[in-house]
Amino acid sequence: MNPKDSKENEKVHTDFKEKMTYGEYLQLGDLLSSQTRLSSHHDEMLFIIIHQVSELWMKLILHELRAAIDNIRKGDIQEAFKMLARVSNIQNQIIQAWDVLSTLTPAEYIEFRDSLGQASGFQSYQYRMVEFALGYKTPHVLKIYEKDPALHKELKEAFEAPSIYDAAIEKLAEAGFAINPDVLAREYTEIYHADPSVEAAWSKVYKNVDQYWDLYQLAEKLVDIEDHLQQWRFRHMKTVERIIGHKKGTGGSSGVGYLKKVLDHRFFPELWDVRTSL
Residues at the annotated binding site for heme?
Answer: 236
**Helix, strand or coil, per DSSP, at residue 182:** helix
Which positions make up the binding site? 47-51, 109, 113, 236, 250
Greatest alpha-carbon span in the chain: 75
Binding residues for substrate: 47-51, 109, 113, 250
Per the CB < 8 A criterion, the answer to whether 233 and 264 are in contact is: no
Q: Cα–Cα distance between 274 and 258 in angstroms, integer?
A: 28
Alpha-helical runs (H) found in the chain? 3-10, 22-25, 28-31, 44-74, 77-101, 106-109, 125-134, 149-160, 164-174, 181-184, 196-207, 213-244, 256-262, 269-277
Type of residue numbered 63: H
